[in-house]
Structure 1
């Protein structure tokens, strides 16, 4: 089993592709990275609408709000966490995983807070954690402690592959902004739980993206023998992510025949 999706389900540039809603998006991809919840909780009626627009086979991977992960740094945020789960409860059976995107300031000294937070979460869901502190990427005792703690709790370590965007020539504002915002950290491709989450941050150089993605075409099939990976594809201008999907899909289809043909619109060879 393999889940493939994008960081969001709509964009003005996708209207010409026939994607104007979550319902349209879900016809082509089986999961989505829920970035919006990092910034604000959706209204209850919107969550119900999301449920109406998807099937039980679709998976949402919502981020914990920044009020929890960044502002509170996982401390004394029980009420915020309870509100988060309550608001998204209509989608409970469609959650791929809830995951924490922690800031670069969250380091080894904060691990006790992470363990306490994770240990108090509902056991009904799968969880992931993305770290950005340099000490968690130097293969030191600190990184080992992080990986061991996640493994013991059955929590996934979210993997950020930002090599393509940071290798790109900064010739556009979209590239420069992505290089400013996306962490430049080593890719530590390891599995700490049953649903590894990979975020591939492409550039606008599609041949470079294709070359750098080859390692995932080898690694992801190996992981599916014992786990269910989630793969999310990004580009600096997400409105142009169709180009990345188009160039990567043949390799993905060879590695995972079950994903079917490239997303398409009736009467057209390709959606993108």
Structure 2
């Protein structure tokens, strides 16, 4: 029974002297991060082409059981509608080619489509899935509300993913929209994060969850409890989920992940905890 927990980044100023000591060079933080978490979202590949040598350095910095979840380039997803199909295909194949040497440490690669991609884009989205050439998992995140209608469009979407053994990315932004934006981080999160229904449906063997926590940690208890039950169910079905935990400022994201893992353990006696955070700065300094 395995759950891969990770963050949307492997370094944060607030994690210094907690996840890694001040003296640790920035370039080595991914290695220390990978001693605590077993996966990470890599958003840099969404914004720009990352040099192959840099990808290899990341790959060699982590243990063999670590899993990267790279985001597909925005030229493939967010500019899907405006660009010629041949150009989209070319960028998609080039991206897959860049990931081929990394396959031993790949988790679900993410195709993340913006709200502008409505139900008319579904066939194109599935065509991109059909082109996937790697042996590792693929996942799809959609943000247009048509894909959450619990009727024809969503059924076609889920069926199409299931037939292709592609995972649906389940976005849970309910916590950050549960209160008024009373602080800067909530204002920013409510501007940037999609407000979509949370439909926790697994369409393949590696479901992906993106949980956006509230900065007031006790407010997350209800949703963490729901996710613990769902993750426990998925484990009993033989699935291997990847859970990426965010918070509005990401400072407390590691804490939320640890709380979630503890709840899963309490519901699933045969499950061994996946996540153990450093208990103190003193312990970190001894690593």
TM-score between the two structures when normalised by the length of structure 2: 0.87
Q: How is 1:1-272 mapped onto 2 (pairs within 5 angstroms)?
A: 1-19=2-20, 20=26, 21-73=29-81, 75-76=85-86, 77-224=88-235, 225-255=237-267, 257-260=271-274, 262-264=276-278, 268=283
Change (3 A) 1:184 1:204: same
Offset of residue 188 of structure 1 = 0.6
- d(CA) in 2 for partners of 1:261, 1:122: 32
After superposition, the C-alpha distances for 1:144-198 in whole angstroms (9 at most, x for unaligned) are 1111111111111100011000003311111011011111111111111111101
Does structure 2 retain, via aligned residues, the 8 Å contact 1:102–1:132? Answer: yes
Offset of residue 240 of structure 1 = 3.5
- d(CA) in 2 for partners of 1:242, 1:123: 30
Higher RCO (Cα < 8 Å, 6 or more apart) = 2
- d(CA) in 2 for partners of 1:187, 1:147: 14
Structure 2 unaligned blocks of 5 or more = 21-25
- d(CA) in 2 for partners of 1:109, 1:18: 44
Change (3 A) 1:237 1:226: same
Change (3 A) 1:124 1:243: closer
Does structure 1 retain, via aligned residues, the 8 Å contact 2:7–2:244? Answer: yes
Partner residue in 1 for 2:23: none
Does structure 2 retain, via aligned residues, the 8 Å contact 1:47–1:90? Answer: no
Alignment: residue pair count: 270
- d(CA) in 1 for partners of 2:107, 2:257: 21
Change (3 A) 1:265 1:42: farther
Offset of residue 72 of structure 1 = 2.9
- d(CA) in 2 for partners of 1:240, 1:3: 18
**Any idea what SS the aligned residue of 1:258 has?**
coil
Offset of residue 61 of structure 1 = 0.9
